[in-house]
């Protein structure tokens, strides 16, 4: 079956696209729209006759072009990995061969590059978030970046930078009046490990920072915890057992045995008074 192109008009919203009107033997009717590049490449003009096979080729080529433009639009917001782009286009239900053609073209044009994407990703996370290289590497792998490219990208995050970032954060942290410095530090380390910092970096960061007791804060924390335990144990145990329970409980909470004994001595003095 032959069809004749009877009219070509510009798309109102997208100036690079054109509406084609066809006559299939029953008068003029709207056919479809095509990209300007397809229009020029195929020599499409008013009066051109096409058979059904040629018509399908034009439609397929235009769909390929749509996939490419959709990719460009997606990349315009920020850099993406190849995997991210492929997932996006699949969600948009683009044909597999068109997706792969678009990716191949974008790789040639260097608009798609997993190494550069990964490097940029590392720099951004390093500069804007409390995240270590282990966590960042996990996130890159989730975005489909290969292990080799992740390793290259992580060169953007040196051990010295990691230690410096940790020290800047640690200097701003202060323990509460309800926990020992030891427990506070333990919680910090657990948090930093979850954030993906290397244990060696955490250790070195702490070695350069003195987390000192502020205005008797450690003593206030010990008193708070000891009073809680006193209410719990005093009426249940004899003097020896009571003291052992207090010692064990406070020691587990990170307090020094010297301070624990000091508190117990003060308690005895109060009892005598």
Task: Flag whether 93 is in a domain.
Answer: no
Residues 75 and 8 in one domain: yes
Number of structural domains found in the chain: 4
Residue 14 zone, left/alpha/beta (φ > 0; ψ -120 to 50; rest): beta
Residues 138 and 203 in one domain: no
Quick: pLDDT tens for 153-196: 999 999 999 999 999 999 888 877 788 888 888 899 999 999 99
Closest CA to 95 of 54, 119, 44, 61: 61
Mean of all residue pLDDT scores within the chain: 90
Task: Flag whether 233 is in a domain.
Answer: yes
What is the pTM assigned to this prediction?
Answer: 0.75
Residues 41 and 64 in one domain: yes
Cα angle 44, 45, 50 (rounded to 5 degrees) comes to: 60
Are 104 and 163 contacting, i.e. CB atoms less than 8 angstroms apart? Answer: no
Task: Flag whether 253 is in a domain.
Answer: yes
CATH value at residue 17? 1.10.10.10
DSSP-derived secondary structure for 198-262: -HHHHHHHHHT------TTHHHHHHHHHHHHHHHHHTTTS-HHHHHHHHHHHHHHTT--HHHHHH
By mean pLDDT, which of 5-9, 64-68, 85-89, 130-134 is the weakest?
5-9
Residues 140 and 182 in one domain: no
Q: Could you give the strand order of the β-sheet that contains 49-51, starting from the edge strand earlier in sequence?
A: 28-35, 17-23, 2-10, 49-51
Quick: pLDDT tens for 54-66: 999 999 999 999 9
Residues 189 and 252 in one domain: no
The boundaries of the domain holding residue 188 are: 160-207
How confident is the model over 194-216, as a mean pLDDT? 81
How confident is the model over 205-216, as a mean pLDDT? 68
Instruction: Reply yes or no on whether the pLDDT at 215 is more than 70.
Output: no
Task: Flag whether 102 is in a domain.
Answer: no
The pLDDT of residue 214: 55
Answer with the one of 55, 80, 105 that is the final residue of a domain: 80
Task: Flag whether 182 is in a domain.
Answer: yes
Residues 231 and 171 in one domain: no
With a pLDDT cut of 90, the percent of the chain lying above it is 57
Task: Flag whether 41 is in a domain.
Answer: yes
């Amino acid at each position: 079956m032959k069809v004749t192109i009877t009219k070509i008009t510009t798309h109102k919203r997208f100036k690079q696209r054109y509406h084609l009107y066809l006559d299939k033997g029953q008068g003029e009717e709207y056919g479809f729209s095509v990209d300007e590049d397809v229009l020029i490449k195929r020599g499409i003009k008013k009066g051109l006759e096409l058979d059904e096979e040629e018509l399908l080729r034009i439609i397929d080529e235009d769909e390929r072009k749509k996939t490419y433009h959709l990719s460009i639009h997606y990349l315009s917001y920020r850099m993406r990995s190849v995997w991210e782009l492929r997932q996006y286009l699949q969600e948009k239900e683009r044909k597999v061969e068109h997706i792969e053609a678009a990716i191949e073209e974008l790789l040639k044009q260097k608009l798609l590059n997993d190494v550069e994407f990964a490097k940029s990703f590392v720099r951004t996370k390093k500069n804007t978030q409390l995240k270590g290289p282990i966590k960042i590497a996990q996130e890159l792998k989730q975005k489909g970046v290969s292990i080799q490219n992740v390793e290259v990208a992580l060169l953007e995050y040196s051990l010295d930078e990691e230690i410096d970032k940790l020290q800047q954060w640690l200097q701003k942290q202060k323990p509460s009046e309800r926990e020992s410095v030891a427990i506070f530090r333990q919680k910090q380390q657990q948090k930093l490990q979850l954030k993906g910092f290397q244990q060696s970096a955490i250790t070195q960061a702490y070695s350069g920072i003195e987390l000192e007791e502020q205005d008797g804060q450690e003593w206030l924390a010990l008193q708070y915890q000891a009073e809680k335990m006193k209410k719990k144990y005093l009426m249940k145990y004899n003097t020896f057992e009571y003291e052992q329970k207090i010692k064990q409980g406070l020691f587990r909470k990170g307090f020094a045995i010297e301070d624990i004994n000091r508190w117990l001595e003060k308690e005895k003095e109060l009892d005598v008074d």
